[in-house]
Structures are given as C-alpha cells and as structure tokens.
Structure 1
Amino acid sequence: MSTTDRPAPIRILIGCDTFLPDVNGAARFAERLAAGLVQRGEDVHVVAPSVRHNRTGTFVETIEGERMTVHRWASWRWYPHDWLRFVLPWRARGYARRLLDRVRPDVIHIQSHIVIGRALAIEGAKRGIRIVATNHVMPENVLDFTPPPEKAKRVFVRGGWTAAARVLRLASAVTPPPRRAADFLERNTHRRGVLPVSCGLRAANYTADLTPRSSNRLVFVGRVTLEKEIDVILRAIPRIDPALDVSLTIVGDGDQRRNLEKLAVELGIADRVRFTGRVSDEQLRAQLTGASAFVIASIAELQSIATMEAMASGLPIVAADAMALPHLVHEGENGYLFQPGNDRELAERIERVLRLSPEEYQRMQRASLDAVQVHDIDRTLDTFEALYRGEAVAG
C-alpha cells in the first residue's frame, strides 16, 4: 500500500506483561509489532512493567530502531524466575484508568490476559474502546516458575483458563499465533472465531549460507528454562555417531544454565557444548548463519520465533512434534520431527540431516527459506491494522 493510499493514523495502545529488556517470544513479538506500526505512521504507545523496581513513568524509548512512547508501570521481581517482573494486580486497574483517560487510544492490543492486559481490557471495555487480544500465555507454562503439588497445579490451570476466558470475551478479535494454538484456546475458553495470526519476522534481516558445511554444529536459540527441555538435546549428543564430530551451541540464558552445564559434564560432552548467554541481534544471526541445523525440543511453543529465525537463516530444523512446531517443520522437506522427550529418536533425526548429500541438504535449506515467507512481518502488520479498524479479516 502506498503512503498516499493509507488511511489516517490511529492511536494504538499495546499492553505487554513482558517487554524489553526481557528476552522471550512474546516480548520480541510486541517489540517488532510496535516498531512496524511506528514505521507505518501509526501513533503507538506501549505499556510494560518497569525496568527498575517500583518506578512508574512515561519514557521515549528506541525499540527495534524506532522511537516510541513507553509507559512503564511499577513492577516487582518474581524471584523464582530469572527475569520475570509483574505489576501488582490491585494497582494495575488504577494505572489503567489514569492512562486511558490521558492517552485516549482508538484501540488497545493486549499481549496477555494476566495483569497489564487484564487491567487495560477491563477499563478499556468500560470506555467502549476496541480491544484486540493476542494470547502468548498458557497457564500450564506458568507452572515452570512455581513449585505447587500436582493437585494444586490442576486447580491452578483450571482457574487460569477461567480467568483468561473472562478477559478474552472483552476482545473484538483474539489472535494466537498458529492454528493449533487457536484450537487449544477455543477448547479451553469456549471462545469461538479465534483468528491465528503469525508473529511474523522480516526474513531479509537474516542470512542463509548455501555453501557446503565444513563442520557439524547444531544450534539452539531460546530461554534456558525447563519448558525448553534442552536436557533432551544434551542427552541426544552422545548417541550421535562420533565420526560426525557434532557440537552444540546454546544461544540464550536462563535459570537452568548451571544445571545444564553440570549435565554436559556428566554426559562427557562439555567440550562439545557451548553456552553463549545473551547475545546481540547481530551475534544471534551470525550463530544461525554458521550452524548446520537448528534443534528445539520444547513442548510448549505457541509459535517459536526462534525456529522461524532459523528457517530464515536457511537451516534444516529438527523439532519436537508438539504444539506449534509441526506447523513450521514439514517432515522430510525442511527438517524432521521427533517424539517429545525421546533423545534416542532426536539423535537419529539429527544424524539423518547431517548425512544428507550436499544436494539434498541444500534442498532442505531452500525449503526452510520458502516456508518462512508466509510469516513475513508485513502480512502480520496488514492483518492487525485491519483488526484495529474493525475491518473483516479472512481466517
């Protein structure tokens, strides 16, 4: 769409329970969404937890190269987790009322149904503001950060989905990333007409190396937490034929890093496993470009931006057959799936990729590059702008 053909800008308030400097899929999506909308000339405001303890204020921040207004609400660290911060629920509604009266947005786009998203949706609905909701959170995943007994977990999950349903019913559109996540949400909240919308990425920002590989280096990118099941990848490494001389780079950080480093020593593979910790975007892209394959064992991915980044880097993918990953990995085309938790099968799938002929390997690389095109960020932005304006969008 040309600049002259674009409708008048609208004021969009994006509510995030996790945002920069957090590193996770939901935060990265919100950052790219906000920056993309600013590039298109929309008036964007972001609400997010404070970076420093108990500090509320409005700031101009540079996100993905774009300057925008970010409203930071006083938040507290959840100490069982390595980065999670949350706004006190009994304060959030008051913050929301004051902000909405001041900003007067045309639309509110919440990124979760938890604290900030819940407060903005409830107070926005009272004012007749259009609500769009993207769901990045499953109550089951939150249990990774809490230690309740099994019976309490079941009660928590039921209560979590009930709370989600109360918030999501206020939205004119609900948009989890892939179709499988949309189906899962409909089953658990009884919300109908859920529209899957990809988180999107700009594939042109990533570089694919289609020349023959001189080494067999696997890469994983993501938070180093329980739900990612990185231990399954580590246990697969000793099962791979030693002649392939496989190494693994784990890009990211989290509360399980020390445990995984210890496991690598116990498995006798510490010299073949590298933990980079947090890296810059440029370093991340270089790690992907130089790898031989991307491996992910997570069982809780609602979309997996990291997997899409690997595809945009021309990598074959070996992924757990769980949640959204089968929507990204087409068996035998751009990679292989394995039974979740089965390190023996994972090792076999990795070997299968690394033993491909140069021609077959490059075919798999090109299949990843082709498959990621449907997740182009401009398609995502087009869809959300239509939803913001109340226009019909095909599912």
Structure 2
Amino acid sequence: MKLISEEEIEYGDFIVFIGRLVYYKHLEIVIEALRILRSKYNVKLVVLGDGPMRRYWESLVERYNLKDIVEFKGYVSHREKLYYLSKCRALVLPSTFEGFGMVILEAWALRKPVIVADVEPLNKIVTHGIDGYVVKNRPEIWAKHIYLLAINEELSKKMGNNGYRKLVTKYGLDKQISDLERLYIKLVARKESKS
C-alpha cells in the first residue's frame, strides 16, 4: 500500500463504510445514527460494497427519508475505494464480527480516524479517543461520535495522524520483519533446547 502525504488528504463532509453488506456488519446502526443526527447536522454516508443486506438497508434509508445523505455505490475498484477514503471525514465499521479489519489500516494509511464497534479484535486495534472511537452498537452513541468528528476537522486530522503513526510503528513492514525474526530466533532456540 502506497502511503501518501498529509498535504494530499482532504477531510470531506461524509463518512464512509467499506465492506460486504451482510447482517453482522450492522450498517443499520450507522443509518439510525444519521437519522438521530439529521435534526442537528447533515452528515453524509457513502457505502462501498454489496451483499444480501443491501436492499434491506436501502429500504431503511428510504423509510427514514435519508436518501439525500446516504449513497450506496455497490462494489468499487480498489482505486475508487482509496479515492473515497482519501476524501472522507472518517471510516465507520459497526461490524460485530471481523477477522482483523484491514480496512482500518487502509483508513489510517490515508490519515483517517475510524469509528468501530466495541468488539474484538477491533477494540484491540483502535485506541478510543486517540486514533478513533470504539463504541457500543447503539445508534445514539454512534450519533454522538460521528457528530464529534463531523463538526471538528482538526480532531479528525489529529486522530487520523495518530492512526497513521500507529500503522507505521505497529503494523509497518519493518515491525513485521522484526516480529518474524524474533519468532524465528525463539523457535530455533526451542528446537535446540530439545536436542
């Protein structure tokens, strides 16, 4: 993944969700949060991805009269995904089941804060209030944290930059090589002690 400079990043007026549209992604939480926010602040949501829950979530958007602020793009190319990430205010990931959450690292590579559900491993990757928010999956709590980032571009930049630093130091190639070297040395030592 090519990392880009801080100067190339924009913090637009929308949040983005990226992922397969399946039930455990719980996009309805963010949709309901936007419904709550509607009277206070119009935050837009761009949904990148497709899946069996798309029709249901589109109908929810229509029922809540949010079609002007929620846009379903379907599957997009990697280049388009990076474009939307580079222009958004934050990434939202209300999923209650994730393997690792690579999309979090992609967001951090583009210096974007993330809002994630308070479930493992997401709550082990994101540090609440530092590089994003880790929140319970209740619409009013999501609304509060989306609003905090929507009204404060400087906070979004600060958290996004913190995420970028974490990406480079904790998940960067040098760190991965160092971790593999330590594991290799440990395995060799264990094998030699058994001999």
- Please say if 1:348 is aligned against 2:144: yes
- Residues in 1 aligned to 2:160 and 2:8: alpha-carbon distance in whole angstroms: 7
Instruction: Report the Cα distance in structure 2 between the residues aligned to 1:334 and 1:283, rounded to whole angstroms.
Output: 24
1:220, 1:371 → 2: CA distance? 21
Residue aligning to 1:392: 186
Aligned 8 A contact 1:207 1:312 in 2 = no
Corresponding position of 1:283: 80
Q: Name the Cα RMSD after superposition.
A: 2.4
Between the aligned partners of 2:175 and 2:104, the Cα distance in structure 1 is 18
CA distance in 2, matches of 1:329, 1:218: 17
How far off is 1:348 after superposition? Answer: 0.7
Task: Note if 1:269 corresponds to 2:66.
Answer: yes
* Aligned residue in 2 for 1:248: 45
Distance 2:47 2:100 in 1: 19
Shift, 1:365, TM fit:
2.0
- Structure 1 unpaired stretches of 5+: 1-201
Tell me how far 1:269 sits from its aligned partner: 0.6
1:364 corresponding residue in structure 2: 159
Q: Take 1:316 and 1:308, find their aligned partners in 2: how far apart are those partners?
A: 10
Q: CA 1:281/1:271 → structure 2, altered by over 3 Å: closer, same or farther?
A: same
Other-structure match for 1:217: 14
Mapping of 1:132-171 within 5 angstroms?
Answer: none
The answer for unaligned runs of 5 or more in structure 2 is 188-195
Larger Rg: 1
Provide closer, same or farther for how the CA distance between residues 266 and 288 of structure 1 changes in structure 2, counting only shifts above 3 A: same
Shift of 1:275: 1.3
1:26-45 matches, within 5 Å, as none
Are 2:56 and 1:259 equivalent residues in the alignment?
yes
- TM-score of the superposition, structure 1-length normalised? 0.43
Q: 1:313 aligns with which of 88, 105, 110?
A: 110
Contact 2:112–2:157 (CA under 8 A) maintained in structure 1: no
Q: Secondary structure, in 3 states, of the residue corresponding to 1:248?
A: strand
Give SS of 2:128's match. Answer: coil
**How many angstroms apart in 2 are the aligned matches of 1:273 and 1:359?**
24
SS, match of residue 372 in structure 1? helix
Tell me if the contact between 2:131 and 2:159 (Cα under 8 Å) persists in the aligned partners.
yes
Instruction: Provide the secondary structure at the position in 2 that maps to 1:336.
Output: strand
Summarize the Cα distance change of 1:211–1:381 in structure 2 as closer, same or farther, 3 Å threshold: closer
Per-residue deviation, 1:212: 6.5
C-alpha offsets along residues 279-337 of structure 1, whole Å, 9 cap, x if unaligned? 11111100100000111101112310011111111111111111111122212112212
Secondary structure at 1:371 match in 2: helix
Distance change >3 Å, CA 208–CA 217, structure 1 → 2: farther
Task: Return the structure number with greater relative CO, CA threshold 8 A, min gap 6.
Answer: 2
Q: How many residues align?
A: 186
Query: Partner of 1:380: helix, strand, or coil?
Result: helix
Q: Return closer, same or farther for 1:222/1:209 CA change in 2, 3 Å cut-off.
A: farther
Structure 1 counterpart of 2:159, which letter?
A: M
Q: 1:353 to 1:319 in 2, by over 3 A?
A: same
| Aligned equivalents of 2:16, 2:109: Cα separation in 1 | 14
1:272 is displaced (CA, Å) by 1.2
Q: Using the TM superposition, give the Cα deviation of residue 378 of structure 1 relative to its aligned residue in structure 2, in angstroms.
A: 5.1
Matched, 1:324 2:121: yes
Q: How big is the shift at 1:271?
A: 2.0
Shift of 1:364: 1.6
> Is contact 1:209-1:290 (8 Å) kept?
no
* CA distance 1:292–1:210, change in 2 (3 Å): farther
How much does 1:235 deviate? 1.1
Cα–Cα, structure 1 residues 324 and 274, in superposed 2: closer, same or farther, change >3 Å?
Answer: same
Q: What percent of counterpart residues are identical?
A: 24
Residues 235 and 288 of structure 1, relative CA distance in 2, 3 Å threshold: same
Q: Which residue of 2 aligns with 1:118?
A: none
Task: Determine which structure has the larger helix proportion and give its number.
Answer: 2
Letter in 1 for 2:21: V
Q: Match of 2:192?
A: none
- What TM-score, normalized by structure 2, do the two folds share? 0.84
1: CA distance, partners of 2:9 / 2:180: 38
